[in-house]
Amino acid sequence: MAAPGKAAAFRLPPLPTIGEIIKLYRLKAQKQLSQNFLLDLRLTDKIVKHAGNLKNAHVCEVGPGPGGITRSILSAGVEQLLLIEKDARFIPGLQLLSEAAPGKVRIVHGDILTYKMEKAFPKHLKKNWDDEPPGIHIIGNLPFSVSTPLIIKWLENVSKKDGPFIYGRTQMTLTFQKEVAERLTANPGGKQRSRLSIMAQHLCTVENCFVIPGEAFVPKPEVDVAVVHFTPLVQPKIEQPFELVEKVVQSVFQFRRKYCFRGLEILFPESGRLKRTEQLMMTANVDPTLRPFQLSMSQFRNLCNTYRKMCDEDPSLFVYNYREELKKKKTRKLLKSTEETAEENEL
């Protein structure tokens, strides 16, 4: 029995290798789910190491698959591990791991995009937002098809301090396609600077930890994979609602290779568009001839703050949708063309 105050180091008993688990349960990566298995435990250990100190922590692993990263998380001495797996084929193999770590593992057969993370961990783990991050971590080798919508959803949760961030500044260590990871961490002027760069960096410290070559996965993807670590900031760099920031940033990057003036124009209805865009850029003190990827975080903050003031003065601005206006124009044009054709036929 361990001495009081000292927990005995946890070790998994001898288990079949990941490769053997795959054969035993006849598991095959499904291309339509963009699944890729990581079998090298040295790499899974490295991912878990970059998550930070997991001793006695509560961890949620997203899409554990055959359980490679799962083993590394358990070996790090976690208190509790929640596994959320959408693909039922992997559940038996995960149950084998659960039995090897009695009382430590909880398996949920479900979709991470709809799972209610605010109830995933014990209430006593909650910390104030300006405290150190809680002993809660999210780790996952994400399928490529899910990674971008999922990180956008979680960034919105960070902004609203809900979902997994109801417990405080929960840290995340996740895999992405190398190109997506470069977008998440790109600096102003960088060729990968994008909407993702601004949305992630204004809410979190984002670190591109290391790259895993594609050949390390089974089956081998066509691209390399990068591990990215997120720690929510105490104070966001743009203190505006998530929806407003997203609307401004999306508009700016709508025409990535043109001057930023062109993207900002679509924030406003056609009537008075030019005048309002000039007003926005002058008040925000942003050079209209800069390209979107050249804008700094402080310039995006000025644009968002100014746009917010304009929306407060005219609430119809925020609900204005450029694409809806384009659809209506096309519909009107089509109706007019149909009416003219009908008149010609009558004649």
User: Residues annotated as binding site for S-adenosyl-L-methionine?
Assistant: 36, 38, 63, 85, 111, 141
C-alpha distances in Å from residue 25, one per residue of 22, 147, 264: 6, 26, 53
Phi, psi of 278 (to 5 degrees): -65, -40
Q: Are 201 and 173 in contact (CB under 8 A)?
A: no
What is the token pair recorded at 128? 């104030």
Q: How many residues comprise the chain?
A: 347
- Checking DSSP bridges between strand 136-140 and strand 105-109, what pairing results, if any? unpaired
Where are the alpha helices (H) located in the chain, listed in sequence order?
18-24, 41-50, 68-75, 91-100, 144-160, 178-185, 195-201, 242-252, 260-265, 273-284, 297-313, 316-319, 322-346
Residue that the structure tokens 């995933």 belong to: 120
- Checking DSSP bridges between strand 80-85 and strand 171-177, what pairing results, if any? unpaired
Longest distance between any two alpha carbons in the chain, whole Å = 100
Binding residues, by number, are: 36, 38, 63, 85, 111, 141
d(CA 175, CA 61): 12
d(CA 181, CA 206): 9
d(CA 37, CA 73): 16
C-alpha distances in Å from residue 196, one per residue of 97, 176, 289: 35, 12, 22
Return the sign of the alpha-carbon dihedral for residues 81, 109, 99, 49: negative
